[in-house]
Structure 1
Amino acid sequence: MSNEPVTVIGLGLMGKALATAFLHAGHPTTVWNRTPGKADALAARGAVVAPTVGDAVRASSLVVVCLTDYTVVRDTLAPHRADLAGRTLVNLTSGTSAEARETAGWASDHLDGAIMAVPGVIATPEAFLLFSGSASAFERHEETLKCLGNGVYFGEDPGLASLYDVALLGVMWGTLNAFLHGAALLGAAKVDASVFAPFANQWVASVTGFVSEYAGQIDKGAYPAEDASLDTHLATMRYLVRESEAAGVDTEWPALVQTLAERARGAGHAGASYASLIEVFRGTPRSDS
């Protein structure tokens, strides 16, 4: 499959990066975008610019789609579902797991995917992509898709890649919110964010150990306080809220964390580990930790 023809539909920043990676790897690449001018640079590199979506779909057995959202995907591809017969559709458009499952039957073979990278690192070891859906499609096109980054396949459920995507993004936003709040707090004491950052990075690396430990507790459904109890965490959270108030820094983020911990404590998890908060997120807090 080293020279497998590929079609890329959608040439935003990410779509351009995907098409560029396929071209660089030696794949004959056809591209289409609603605004034709966005394909000029790719055409100069050897891409074939399809005049219509139908022409783009028919040009390759592997069709990669990266559009704004699933509404645009449906509007773009719905009139050409007959052309997708016998082809593999790889949808790298962000959306919900329900939307991914809804479009799974649009092609003979379908993969839904998520890109855990920014455009600038596509085709480097830093990029990794999540896939779910047709196992035969992933096996058949894995080598071609590898030119985009490291690919991980999660199984036949086409919605799993989307679920992993939003779960991982939640980890990112939670980490970044915590860093930004901390930078604001220290900034009130005239400490530059660039001075704080190395310590934040070191601590984030340490927190990965908690993630691994708590994952085991979650899977077992038991939350022994082997490092610190929820009550111990809660006492420190109150200091963070007080320090934020004193510094004139917005308290919404630490207050939310405190509220979640207090809900877990109220459900009987005071002496349990911090992992017991998962029962709050599940909406079914238990008192038998």
Structure 2
Amino acid sequence: MTANASAKTPVTLLGLGAMGTALARTWLAAGHPLTVWNRTASRAEPLVAEGATAAGTAAEAVAASDLVILCLLDDASVDEALKDADLTGKDLVNLTTTTPAQARERAAWATARGARYLDGGIMAVPPMIGVPEAGGYVFYSGAADLFETHAKTLAVPAGTRFVGTDAGHAALHDVALLSAMYGMFAGAAHAFALIRGEDIDPAAFAPFLTEWLTAMAGPHVTQTADQLTSGDYTTNVVSNLGMQTAGTPTFLTTAAEQGVSPELLTPYFALMRRRLTEGSPSEDLTGVVDLLRR
């Protein structure tokens, strides 16, 4: 082991799927002594060849380092992996995808077993890990002192965003952003379906769609946040609720003419109409958020 490696925080990583393996390689490349464990032991072999130490059991892996990072399939997998491990004095960082409630329960579970706990939500895919210019990062929430202690080590694979001491907030940020992503994907799918039967090249259409979504998303998100904060949904409105709701039949008729199901649009249009009956035609679309909270 080099002097540089010995100066770096030892890390234990449980879980060597595509994401776990990508994380492991960044810590190895940065000189961190790394102990790994995976239920399918053969997945550790390439990392051992690169300098990692493979543990025979999850409990042995946990014992090897004070900083223990989990990147497993689900919350039940965390239970299974740690059932025989002594967590006393350990710093547990859980990057497993869970719900906010599961993260809070896991934090209490870890604390009862003598560990500090930090939950994480990875906003990246494996090829983005270890590539700063790719823009990936990880939300963290839970023990602030744990985050401060290991901030440099946690920043090796991707950027870090600490979002508070409520252990559930990293998972909540993660799912909220991904939910918005799927909504965007739904809109893009509908747009491509509309042109699918025409003499329009999808590759030629794609830049128009990208430019439009980029131009609209940023201002809309900022405006919605500002209005939710102020409680005034009529400030700086560009296209009001009344006007936009009146225009929705055109989208539905176009879909029918193109032989495209409107099922990705109709739920949102229904919410717009409901808000129009309860709110004001001069307000923005922000009131839809309140309807979803009921």
Per the shorter chain, which TM-score range? Answer: over 0.9
Equivalent pairs: percent with the same residue? Answer: 38
1:93-130 Cα offsets, whole Å, 9 max, x none, are: 01111110111131521100010000011012221100
SS at match of 2:279: helix
- Describe the shift of the 1:131–1:2 C-alpha distance in structure 2 as closer, same or farther (beyond 3 A): farther
Q: Does 1:151 align with 2:160?
A: yes
Aligned residue number for residue 130 of structure 1: 139
Aligned residue number for residue 255 of structure 2: 244
Distance in 2 (CA, whole Å) between partners of 1:242 and 1:85 is 63
SS at match of 2:76: helix
1:203 to partner: Cα distance: 1.3
1:236 to partner: Cα distance: 2.5
Q: Does 1:97 align with 2:100?
A: yes
Q: Does 1:176 align with 2:185?
A: yes
Aligned residue number for residue 113 of structure 1: 120
Runs of 4+ in 1 over 4 A off after TM superposition: none
SS at match of 1:234: helix
Aligned residue number for residue 275 of structure 1: 286
- Consecutive unaligned residues in structure 1, runs of 5 or more: 284-289
- Kept in 2, the 8 Å contact 1:117–1:128? The answer is yes
SS at match of 1:253: coil
- Aligned 1:27-46 pairs, distance under 5 A: 27-46=32-51
SS at match of 2:290: helix
Which letter does structure 2 place at the counterpart of 1:94?
A: T
1:130-162 Cα offsets, whole Å, 9 max, x none, are: 000000000000000110111000111100001
RMSD in angstroms over aligned alpha carbons?
A: 1.3
Aligned residue number for residue 3 of structure 2: none
TM-score in terms of structure 1 length: 0.94
Distance in 2 (CA, whole Å) between partners of 1:193 and 1:235 is 29
Which letter does structure 1 place at the counterpart of 2:267?
A: L
- Aligned 1:190-209 pairs, distance under 5 A: 190-207=199-216, 208-209=218-219
- Kept in 2, the 8 Å contact 1:8–1:19? The answer is yes
Aligned residue number for residue 246 of structure 2: 235
- Kept in 2, the 8 Å contact 1:30–1:59? The answer is yes
SS at match of 2:267: helix
Distance in 1 (CA, whole Å) between partners of 2:229 and 2:202 is 37
Which letter does structure 2 place at the counterpart of 1:220?
A: S
Aligned residue number for residue 262 of structure 1: 273
1:210-243 Cα offsets, whole Å, 9 max, x none, are: 2112210111111116201112111222211111
Distance in 2 (CA, whole Å) between partners of 1:75 and 1:104 is 16
Distance in 2 (CA, whole Å) between partners of 1:278 and 1:44 is 51
Distance in 2 (CA, whole Å) between partners of 1:268 and 1:130 is 35
- Consecutive unaligned residues in structure 2, runs of 5 or more: 1-5
- Kept in 2, the 8 Å contact 1:2–1:143? The answer is no
Aligned residue number for residue 11 of structure 1: 16
Q: What count of residue pairs does the alignment treat as equivalent?
A: 281
1:2 to partner: Cα distance: 5.4
